[in-house]
Amino acid sequence: MADIGPVPLAVLPTPLQELARLRQALGGPRLLVKRDDLTGLGLGGNKVRKLEYLVADARAQGAHTLITAGAPQSNHARQTAAAAARCGLGCVLVLGPIAPTSITGNLLLNTLFGARIRWAGARDPFAVMDEVAAEERAAGRVPYIIPYGGSNAVGAAGYLHAMGELKRQLEEQGETLNHIVVASGSGGTQAGMVVGARAYGLPTQILGVSIAQEAPALRRKVFDLALLTAAHHGVPFDLTPEAIDVNADYTGAGYGHMGAPEREAIRLVAATEGLLLDPVYTGRAMAGLIDLIRRGAFADDETVLFWHTGGAPALFAYAEALTAP
């Protein structure tokens, strides 16, 4: 595979664990979890795997400053800021739309990592990133723009190779796997998994639970990115868009709005497993998985893997909603 070698940022391999008490509470299939909340850097998360390849590409281009965008509690922004600090690079985060009244959660961590924050307001964040890049060039620095979620063909390599890691763990532990369930937002994690499953010969359904988009749009996004990733890394790829599994039944009130299903999922997993989910991504994806189990979507003799993509620092920004009756 023709990728640039990664910059080692993550603590790998991340653990593969059983969720026996959660299964006891829910019934249904055997449950495993892949702990990418434990990738280490900047309190961990799935974006660290992507950033290993994105930072390598930035270095190859002689970059001095990483620039990316996200919401105020963006996990991706926090991990990008941590990667920049670790590698001695500057970092500018274009967040939006406006600054919250308190600095907590990921936003607090961004400041500790030394990132500069530019609030986009009503402007297009991509236009603001381009503006920041022009400012960096005018100051004699080389900028490197990272898209939302690190989701491009370079970043998706992190999850292409994560599937090889998972396959080795399954073999070592004598496990078989029928389904993977993962939060799917910017699409790069699921796209990398889809390509990695082909590259490493891991035949399993990969279901992306949509965080915000309707199913047709998310399916197309994941497929297009998987196609680009496969071509970029020399992996044969013969899937059609219809082969990309997504479920958009759990988007609730939209991105960043935590409702009763997410609150129940976060509380249940914490109380049964001592495992923390986040309000925006893993809480929503787990709420979807819980509902699917209750609806009998999986057979009792199947094994379902929940891929934990991290995000726990955002919990602190949702304290009032999480403690509501």
Dihedral angle sign, alpha carbons of residues 113, 121, 256, 69: negative
Instruction: Please check whether residue 207 is in contact with residue 182, taking contact to mean a CB–CB distance below 8 angstroms.
Output: yes
Other Cβ atoms closer than 10 A to 136: 20
* C-alpha distance across the termini of the chain, in Å: 51
Instruction: Report how far Cα 58 is from the mean position of its chain's Cα atoms.
Output: 20
Q: Which of 74, 151, 184, 186 is catalytic?
A: 74
- Here the tokens at position 293 are 């189990």
Which residue, among 73, 97, 71, 12, has the nearest Cα to 46 in the 3D structure?
A: 12
Which residue, among 8, 73, 79, 69, has the nearest Cα to 48 in the 3D structure?
A: 79
Distance CA 133, CA 91 (A): 11
Instruction: Please check whether residue 89 is in contact with residue 66, taking contact to mean a CB–CB distance below 8 angstroms.
Output: yes
Q: How far is CA 242 from CA 220, 224, 227, 250, in A?
A: 9, 12, 13, 20
Annotated active-site residue 210? The verdict is no
Residue with tokens 């919250």: 100
Catalytic residues: 74
